[in-house]
Amino acid sequence: MNGQGVTTDTADPDETSSRVRALLDISAQLFAERGYEATSMRDISAAAGVSKALLYHHFASKDDIYARIAFNSTKHLYGFVEERIPTDGPSAEKIRAFMIATASFFSQHRAAWIAASNAFWVDRNRHRMGNRMARRQQFEHRLRDLIREGIEAGEFRDIDPADAGRLILSSINWMHRWFDPAKEHTAEEIAARYADLILNGMKQS
Amino acid sequence: MNGQGVTTDTADPDETSSRVRALLDISAQLFAERGYEATSMRDISAAAGVSKALLYHHFASKDDIYARIAFNSTKHLYGFVEERIPTDGPSAEKIRAFMIATASFFSQHRAAWIAASNAFWVDRNRHRMGNRMARRQQFEHRLRDLIREGIEAGEFRDIDPADAGRLILSSINWMHRWFDPAKEHTAEEIAARYADLILNGMKQS
């Protein structure tokens, strides 16, 4: 499914110039604040201080901008989280670190996170869409492996790794709908509280 | 905030005629399938077999349709869930019933659920928006009360009812993004599995 040697794929967002990145950031901000629907290409060009013609030079449509934000929003997630998982110690600590790092990443890229988590969209660029799906799967499977490791070590009860993994990701994914950085708790603190609740339910009694 | 005696409020969706209800159902279906953005008033009128003029007679805009779907989607949730919570017995059983009933309600109103859970929107009808928010709060507070009851009875550990309530609702709310009724498990089964995981983490050991 995933092609190799895609370096000549000019649509690959890895190739984005700083101008394109700046336009994507501004768009993400507008989408997050007003919603996708209420944001026009005119709004984006005005906020970015560029002409509509230039905007259309870089992006085929508003949909294209949206798809690229959604794509980019998770691009560095895996590496960011992986770096923060301790190599040794109990599985519970690894999962806890996984959760806190995921929440931390999302809160650092909050506009893109909100924009990408809302509205339906299908990326017309199949290669990019395929990559994004593969990345999500890889991420979810990494979490399931950590859960499985804990079950095999006798640290957790004999739970279903897919269920537990979904529960963990749901708790963090849904945060984009209510989390407010201006409030008392950081995203990391909330993830840690969820980790306590969930991991306590997983552990062997 | 919530007015009384709203029976003369013609915008109140309680007053919806069967034609309006049918138009809302068709719209919810289209929004869920294609997304809000990709669905036009023309698409809705075509799918419903009515003229655009008639559609605009009933709704001010696509946004208005959307807001009414979102409003209606949770209107009967509270009553539906409340009826299914056992009056006696352990708090864990009540919370379990709460979760299963919520998932059941959502899966029965799947198109509206998906439509209402996606995209940003602000209902311009403040009275309706206020009502919807009040309902959500009432629902969440009911769940927190059940959790608190279990803590006071010594059934649960000394956890934070707000955290645990959010975790429970997040697990179910996020289902709209991945749950597929054509797959092996029903929404109720998934909610029951989440209940097992979460409640086990809450209980006094």
* Encoded tokens for A64: 């294209």
Domain finish residue from B6, B25, B60:
B60
Q: Is residue A67 part of a domain?
A: no
Q: Is residue A108 part of a domain?
A: yes
Q: What is the ipTM of this complex?
A: 0.79
A166 touches chain B (CB under 8 A): yes
CATH code at position A92: 1.10.357.10
pLDDT at A12 over 50: no
> Could you list the residue range(s) of the whole structural domain that residue A45 is in?
14-60
Q: Is residue B7 part of a domain?
A: no
Instruction: Count structural domains, chain B.
Output: 2
CATH code at position B20: 1.10.10.60
Percent of chain B with pLDDT over 70: 88
Q: Is residue A1 part of a domain?
A: no
Eight-state DSSP code of residue B158: S
pLDDT recorded at residue B205: 64
User: Is the CB of residue B100 less than 8 Å from the CB of residue B191?
Assistant: yes
Cβ under 8 Å to B: A residues 107-126: 118-121
Eight-state DSSP code of residue B82: H
* Encoded tokens for A74: 């998770």
pLDDT recorded at residue B99: 97
pLDDT by residue (tens digit) across B112-155? 877 777 654 556 677 877 887 888 899 999 999 999 999 999 99
Q: Are residues A82 and A30 in the same domain?
A: no
Q: Are residues B91 and B188 in the same domain?
A: yes
Cα B1 to chain centroid, rounded: 21
Q: What one-character-per-residue DSSP string does A65-133 give?
A: HHHHHHHHHTTTHHHHHHHTS-SSS-HHHHHHHHHHHHHHHHHHTHHHHHHHHSS----S-HHHHHHHH
In angstroms, the CA A127 to CA A74 distance is 16
B198 touches chain A (CB under 8 A): yes
Q: Are residues A50 and A102 in the same domain?
A: no
Percent of chain A with pLDDT over 90: 47
pLDDT by residue (tens digit) across A142-173? 999 999 999 999 999 889 999 999 999 999 98
Question: What is the average pLDDT value for chain B, to the nearest integer?
Answer: 84
* Encoded tokens for A87: 């190599």
Q: Are residues A99 and A120 in the same domain?
A: yes
Q: Are residues A101 and A47 in the same domain?
A: no
Q: Are residues B188 and B98 in the same domain?
A: yes
Q: Is residue B118 part of a domain?
A: yes
Q: Are residues B46 and B133 in the same domain?
A: no
User: Is the CB of residue B102 less than 8 Å from the CB of residue B172?
Assistant: yes
Q: Are residues A129 and A51 in the same domain?
A: no
pLDDT recorded at residue A42: 96
Is B120–A38 a contact, with Cβ atoms under 8 angstroms apart? yes
Q: Is residue B125 part of a domain?
A: yes
pLDDT by residue (tens digit) across A97-149? 999 999 999 888 888 877 777 654 556 677 877 887 888 899 999 999 999 99
Q: Are residues B76 and B152 in the same domain?
A: yes
Q: Is residue B160 part of a domain?
A: yes
Domain finish residue from B60, B86, B113:
B60
Q: Contacts of residue B175 in chain A, CB cutoff 8 Å?
A: 170
In angstroms, the CA B114 to CA B119 distance is 10
Q: Are residues A18 and A108 in the same domain?
A: no
Q: Are residues B189 and B128 in the same domain?
A: yes
Q: Is residue B198 part of a domain?
A: yes
Higher per-residue pLDDT: B48 or A36: B48
Q: Are residues A109 and A162 in the same domain?
A: yes
B179 touches chain A (CB under 8 A): no
Across the range A179-198, mean pLDDT stands at 91
B16 pLDDT band, cuts 50/70/90, is low
In angstroms, the CA A11 to CA B115 distance is 30
